[in-house]
Structure 1
Amino acid sequence: MLTDVEPSPTETVADPVVRPIVLTAQVPATDPCPVAQIKRDFGDQDLSLLTLFISPAADFDAVVAQAQHAYPDTDVVACSTAGEIGACGYDENQIIAVGFPAVGFATTSLMIEDIDQLTPQPLVDRLVLERVKLQKQNRDMPNGFALLVVDGLSLAEDALTAAISPALRDMPLFGGSAGDGMGFQKTLVSLNGKVARNAAVLTLFCSAYRTHVFSLDHLVPTEKQMVVTDADPARRIVKSINAEPAAPEYARIMGKDPNQLDRFTFASHPVVVRIGGTHHVRAIRQVNDDGDLVFFSAIDEGMVLTTATPQNMVDHLTRKMAELSDNGAPAHIIGCDCILRRIEAEQTQMTRDLSDILARHNVTGFSTYGEQIGPLHVNHTMSGVAIYAPDRKR
């Protein structure tokens, strides 16, 4: 399926040849030859990058091997998902493909391994060299951004984004943590056929099109606060809140039964932390066997958590999509959407309406175990990039 057919940056409306800004396709996870179908849908377009968001229902290794064979001269980046965003919005059991044609994009991708033992400076030096090289070679593509996909069970996203974001300078970073449905057992990333865990893949983009990296969430902080008084930061575990056992105290503050805490409770009753004048979600993943709270992102003793009230997701997403269209509607949006947003949508029976909005605004992407935006790893948000068609000459 081709989407967003617009003139290339050097063409006018009168030109006989038009090219798609971004190519998208989706194939059921059960298809034994999904990449063959994707290649048929994409045609003979010369791609700078192919990204694959792969349902855990698919054979991840087989899909990336097929992609490497079908696109030997193109970087292929893939990750497993906690759900997909396709042509009809929220979807499941799909393989989503996004192709970036070389006519409008130049990219370079690199795998970062052993991210739980990251040595920042050599990585920063490498990124600076790659960024400068890419930009010098593509001066006719002045717009830049970076996409990061990370093992969603690595517990290392916070340190990774904090290390690499400053090296990217004028390439704003967004991304998502790879998922495993609701399994939380095995999350994967891949670059050019190499599959890895405890790893990340970073792609740097130069684009001839105007782009805008964004992050949105629908949560409003309240006046109700709690303090983390005992924690295991390395494992993102909170053992006590307000000097009381963590799970029962959280339940008390939220007015919930401590024996009935589940993912639906955590999705609808989030907590946020203030960082640099802005509140960011610190989402709870589960209660462990010891009655501790396990979080999706960085947590530490002394951290002040504030309860948050969700706005209506449909109304909020409608407003935010309209804001992205203030100076013209995006031709396409690549989105990394937290699994907690999908859970909340299902619980509040808003999935269909949200899907309609996503489809109407050409959002393609996946549901994540966390999102990256700039130097931060966050939760309960959608991060993404809006890509705009060139102004038509009149």
Structure 2
Amino acid sequence: MTTLEQKPPETIRIAVSRSPDPQAALAEIAAQIADLRTSFLLLLVPAHLDLKLMQEELASGLPGRTVFGCTTAGQITGRGYEAEALVALAFPRTQFRVASHLFHPVAPVSIADVVAQTERVVDRFRPTPGRRRLALVFTDGLSKQEDILVAALEAGLKDIPVFGGSAGDGLTFRQTFVLHDGRFHSNAALLLLLETPLSFRGVGFDHFQPTEKRMVVTKAVPEERLVLEINGAPAAEEYARLAEVPVAELSPIVFAENPVLVRNRNLYHVRAIQQIQGGSGLTFLSAIDDGLLLTLGRGKEIIRTLDSSLDLTGEGGEEPDFILGFDCYLRRLEIEHKGLGAEASDKLRRHRVVGFNTYGEQHLGVHVNQTFVGVAFFPGGAVSGVA
């Protein structure tokens, strides 16, 4: 361990390779976990690795291992933010039991089918006394189905909390994949049902507050998450006017720093803009529809919010052994644009976060954007719960 890396967790093992060659990368991962009896591996795959070669090498590179995972828009390792690291989270048999299910194809979503399939997974995964259960979901980040899917999952899981992240593809938005049964699948979603003696606590936060600037979606193509008009004007032009930015200067960083929010009771959730479509339309990363009322958001101090929100303790005052984090790529984009990447990485190290940058996050039945969602695992003593 160098001074740049966090103290390794006690309850899982984190293996990392920065090799550009899939075969060499898997060999490095295998060497780092060779002595560990694993329940499963969670493999977080950077966009630059050749997935065809990776898939061909998985069985021989990680023999006898159960491997799940997804492609990412960036990774969070013991060094903080990274872009080209293959990360394997090795969950030991002594601490974790797992059941999995692949929803494929995921588009279009059948709510009834998802609920029924989820209930069957839960029924087969009989609880062990003294252990707690939670669910993780990893979804094709370009499927445009996460909103409906995660709501259906929550209905099927009932009292089991669910957290997750949408798979990424760097910043190219071409194709994203989840990994199940030795194969990479697009148009798919992966559900992992976990059981553990560890206590855990869920967390979800962003750093935005609403302004007085309101928008109404007056023309949309909901199945494409495409907004054509806002307030009766071309969507890109009206958004740019409200954000006080020339249309020609609209870019991912402008969208990241000027998000639109949707109010749900007393809470605001981000509906992130992905890109301009067709010159005047706006493609979103969450569900959108005609008549939807949107509010322009403004950010608070993103590093201070990150630090304070990750400052979690268990019931006995203990710090997390590790936090499994799903952090929106737009948050990272804003952080790095502001020259705060090193400071953010320092906070992520200090709070023992490991995970990946997503195209969307799932938090307790809601699909959100520009949000950090995570699960903090404690060595013991705290009551499981959510925040």
TM range (shorter): over 0.9
Q: Any idea what the Cα deviations from partners look like across 1:103-140, whole Å, max 9, x if unmatched? A: 0111111111011122232332222232233243x334
- Displacement of 1:29: 4.4
Q: Any idea what the Cα deviations from partners look like across 1:207-231, whole Å, max 9, x if unmatched? A: 1100112211111112221111111
- Does residue 35 (structure 1) correspond to residue 35 (structure 2)? The answer is no
Taking the aligned partners of 1:123 and 1:377, their CA distance within structure 2 comes to: 16
The aligned amino acid for 2:257 is: S
Structure 1 unmatched ranges of 5 or more? 7-19
Taking the aligned partners of 2:28 and 2:374, their CA distance within structure 1 comes to: 26
- SS of 2:201's equivalent? strand
Taking the aligned partners of 1:209 and 1:259, their CA distance within structure 2 comes to: 51
- Displacement of 1:66: 3.1
- Displacement of 1:316: 0.6
- What's the C-alpha RMSD, in Å, of the aligned pairs? 2.0
Runs of 4+ in 1 over 6 A off after TM superposition: 1-6
Q: 1:269 to 1:364 in 2, by over 3 A?
A: same
Taking the aligned partners of 1:153 and 1:200, their CA distance within structure 2 comes to: 11
Structure 2 unmatched ranges of 5 or more? 383-387
Which residue of structure 1 lines up, in the alignment, with residue 47 of structure 2?
A: 56
What is the identity percentage for the equivalent residue pairs of Structure 1 and Structure 2? Answer: 35
Taking the aligned partners of 2:7 and 2:82, their CA distance within structure 1 comes to: 20
Q: Aligned residue pairs: how many?
A: 377
Taking the aligned partners of 2:314 and 2:304, their CA distance within structure 1 comes to: 16
Decide which moves more: 28-37 or 368-377. 28-37
Decide which moves more: 63-72 or 257-266. 63-72
Choose the corresponding residue for 2:276, options 275, 287, 303. Answer: 287
- SS of 1:322's equivalent? coil
- Displacement of 1:267: 0.6
The TM-score with structure 2 as length reference comes to: 0.93
Taking the aligned partners of 2:6 and 2:319, their CA distance within structure 1 comes to: 14
- Does residue 274 (structure 1) correspond to residue 258 (structure 2)? The answer is no
Aligned positions of 1:1-394 closer than 5 A: 20-31=10-21, 32-136=23-127, 138-141=128-131, 143-324=132-313, 327-391=317-381
- Displacement of 1:170: 2.5
- SS of 1:130's equivalent? helix
- SS of 2:49's equivalent? coil
Q: 1:272 to 1:354 in 2, by over 3 A?
A: same
Q: Any idea what the Cα deviations from partners look like across 1:208-263, whole Å, max 9, x if unmatched? A: 10011221111111222111111110001111111111111111111111111111
- SS of 2:287's equivalent? coil
- SS of 2:159's equivalent? coil
- SS of 2:123's equivalent? helix
Residues 106 and 134 in structure 1, CA contact (< 8 A), matched pair in contact too: no
